[in-house]
Structure 1
Amino acid sequence: MSTLRPPQIAILDASIAAVLHRLDLQGLAGQRLFITGGTGFFGLWLLSALRALNDEGVPVQACVLSRDPDKFLSRHPQFRAQPWLDFVTGNVRDFALPERKFDLLLHAATETSMAAHADPVNMFDDIVLGTRRVLQLARSCGVRRALLVSSGAVYGAQPPHLTHQPDDSQAACNPLLPSSAYGEGKRVMELMGAMLQRETGIEFLVARCFAFCGPGLPLDAHFAIGNFIRDALYGEQINVQGDGSPMRSYLYGADLAVWLLYMLVNGRAGESYNVGSDEGLSIKELALRVRDVLAPGKRVAVLQNAEAEPSVRNRYVPGITRARALGCAPWTSLDESLVLSARYWQDGART
């Protein structure tokens, strides 16, 4: 991938500036933070928020685990030579533990590509063995508080009578299906956090993340919203691969970063928080929204015939009661998210 251009970096910075002060992040001042999963979509936004905090006089030291820090820094030059940021090179399963102390841990490392899902055994091992290694770091490096980034997949299929999956749901994925490897792995990760807290007193909490949007989300992967933006910008029509009936919601990347950093410091120990937008819409409605915002008049093609109203609708929409009680909310509208995403990719394509 090519290096980010200054206009793209400006979009990231402006997005963070628009929401950074929605919550009080002063509790991060003077903290030493270890991050896994710090060089993907989540990491791009988390590091953008930490960069803004340091620039504003809220000193936070961050150390990021990455298999290839140089590749990340060549793509994202705004993070080069930052005195508050350094990297540990390695794989989450077996990286060398740093010989220094950290106050906080944010564990977000998980491969979610289609290729990863095609190998459920390796995916499960990455989550469980990776978490085991990261929690070894928590024990040896003095971590006092850890946020484990989980997924709404732990709930399994959302019951058709629920428009929003509640924070306190006891639903679970089906362990008899190999396709449950991701959700089951995350459930084990959460259990490991609970056992760590009981054994050591290290506080842990869980962010169960749903679906997201914004700059940094690929346009050519398995994310419907990214594919629709690509089609709106460059295609002859916007293609909906299924029947358009599944219900989804999307939280903007800048909002996500502020939520996670605030939860890390202020969330209740031993608690889980759904993380995402509670504005649900169907995939077809999403495609139409992308069309109306980015490419008025362009055709939307639903490639599979749909019933007028499916008898059982696939839903993946969180209830965010606990997050809202902390002061978190979807601050960036979906329409604004689409505009910023399109501008980001267009600025990257310009010569």
Structure 2
Amino acid sequence: MSAILVTGGAGFLGSHLCDRLIERGDDVICVDNFFTGRKQNIQHLIGHPQFELVRHDIVHPLYLECDQIYNLACPASPVAYQYNAIKTIKTSTVGMVNVLGLAKRCRARILHASTSEVYGDPEVHPQTEDYWGHVNPLGPRSCYDEGKRVAESLCMNYHLAHDLEVRLIRIFNTYGPRMDPNDGRVISNFITQALRGEPLTIYGDGSQTRSFCYVDDLIAGMMKLMDNDEHTGPFNIGNPVENSMLELAEKVLAETQSKSELKNLELPADDPKQRCPNIEKARTLLGWEPKVPLETGLKSTVAYYREQLGV
């Protein structure tokens, strides 16, 4: 049994991670400031003898004892991270320093949840971990992109300077139950619009692609990386199967049996045209690859949103 700290533990990914760790027998300390995290995501864990909830913002120092740290604290959807861009940057910089300082004091292994956004609007496809990226440092997404890039640099420098055990994961588009219906990402947008009978908003001509990884697969990859004793990373964790936005819209309409039409809007600034991980490194060194097809994952996600929206 280990004492494991999960920052951002009431969020979409963090709450699923808390579940898996507790199922395994670990003691979990969930830290969240509830900016985007939701109490309903962890309500079923309140009162569990292996679960502790701490309301705290990692921009301020945190003092506790733990064996491992999963750092998932940061708004992840464009709507959320652009709402308060300075706060987003501080979470990935000041907050990262605070969490690394805690790991150093406790001699805890730390896994940092980075993102495919470090690749920006990529000129290399699919993206491999040795690609340095194509990021606009002054654009509307830079608070998140550049914040996450600095966070990776901080992790590696703590690793080199203090021999801290660091693990870096670059998360590609992930979906599933507990994703906030209003978080502004494409799968949540499409499903909620379809269930409400509203037009599905397609930005640009819909030819841009994304790869979608079901949450259970993502959490399995994250835990495999944390529990390996050899590799620091970074590791791409995502699904290498690409879908255009038009293809995704068709799949959502089929699963929801909605009659919604498509509505084209202007493409947002710096929106990547392609986003797809090369996961050979994770396959080879971690023995991980996704197992849940998009159609299967959409079925459980749609069921969750039907319950949430009451439709």
Letter in 2 for 1:183: D
* Residue from 119, 130, 137 that aligns with 1:168: 130
Question: 3-state SS of the aligned residue for 2:169?
Answer: strand
Aligned to 2:148: 186
- What is aligned with 1:11? none
Q: 1:88 to 1:246 in 2, by over 3 A?
A: same
1:106 deviates by 0.8
Matched, 1:332 2:292: yes
Indicate yes or no: 2:256 matched with 1:290. no
Partner of 1:321: 280
Alignment partner of 1:301 out of 253, 262, 276: 262
Counterpart among 57, 80, 89 of residue 91 in structure 1: 57
Write the mapping of 1:1-351 to structure 2, written as runs, cut at 5 A: 30-53=1-24, 59-67=25-33, 72-73=38-39, 76-98=42-64, 100=65, 102-113=66-77, 114-143=79-108, 145-159=109-123, 162-177=124-139, 179-266=141-228, 268-295=230-257, 298-304=259-265, 314-325=273-284, 326-349=286-309
Task: Indicate if the aligned counterparts of 2:62 and 2:102 stay in contact, CA closer than 8 A.
Answer: no
Distance 1:72 1:303, change over 3 A: closer
- Larger relative CO (CA 8 A, sep 6+): 1 or 2? 1
How far does residue 115 in structure 1 lie from its aligned partner after superposition?
4.5
CA distance in structure 1 between the partners assigned to 2:74 and 2:155 by the alignment: 16
> Within 2, Cα distance between the matches of 1:254 and 1:328?
12
Kept after mapping to 1: 8 A contact 2:177/2:300: yes
- Going from structure 1 to structure 2, the CA distance change for 1:179 and 1:229 (only over 3 Å counts) comes to closer
**SS of the residue 1:133 aligns to:** helix
RMSD: 2.5
Distance in 2 (alpha carbons) for counterparts of 1:288 and 1:31: 44
2: distance between equivalents of 1:178 and 1:342? 30
What is the rounded CA distance, in whole Å, between the counterparts of 2:169 and 2:210 in structure 1?
A: 18
TM-score, normalised to structure 1, is: 0.80
Alpha-carbon shift at residue 74 of structure 1 (Å): 5.4
Following the alignment from structure 2 to structure 1, what is the Cα–Cα distance between the partners of residues 308 and 86? 36
Instruction: Summarize the Cα distance change of 1:260–1:279 in structure 2 as closer, same or farther, 3 Å threshold.
Output: same
SS in 1 for 2:23: helix
Cα distance in 1 for residues equivalent to 2:220 and 2:8: 16
Q: Is the 8 A contact 1:37 1:107 kept in 2?
A: yes
Give 1:47's aligned amino acid.
Answer: C
Asked if the contact 2:41/2:178 (under 8 Å) is kept, the reply is: no
Give 1:17's aligned residue.
Answer: none
Cα distance in 1 for residues equivalent to 2:170 and 2:229:
13
Give the Cα–Cα distance (whole angstroms) in 2 for the partners of residues 265 and 210 of structure 1. 20
Structure 2 CA distance for partners of 1:267 and 1:279, relative to 1, 3 Å = farther
Q: How big is the shift at 1:299?
A: 4.4
Deviations 1:114-169, CA, capped at 9 Å, x for gaps? 243144333212210000110111122231x211110111112111xx44111221
Q: In the aligned structure 2, how far is the partner of 1:123 from the partner of 1:269?
A: 28
State the distance in 2 between where 1:142 and 1:304 align.
49
C-alpha contact (below 8 Å) 2:113/2:169 kept by paired residues? yes
Cα deviation, residue 236, structure 1: 4.6
d(CA) in 2 for partners of 1:238, 1:171: 30
Q: Can you give the 5+ residue segments of structure 1 that lack an aligned partner in the other structure? A: 1-29, 54-58, 307-311
Contact 2:6 2:28 in 1 (8 A): yes
Query: Whole-Å Cα distance in 2 between the matches of residues 139 and 334 of structure 1?
Result: 39
8 A Cα contact 2:81 2:143, kept in partner: no
What percentage of aligned pairs have identical amino acids? 27
Contact 1:240-1:300 at 8 Å conserved across structures: no
- Cα 1:67–1:204 change in 2 (3 A) is same
Describe the superposition over 1:226-268 as per-residue Cα deviations: whole angstroms up to 9, x where unpaired.
Answer: 1111122221543424321211011111111111111111164
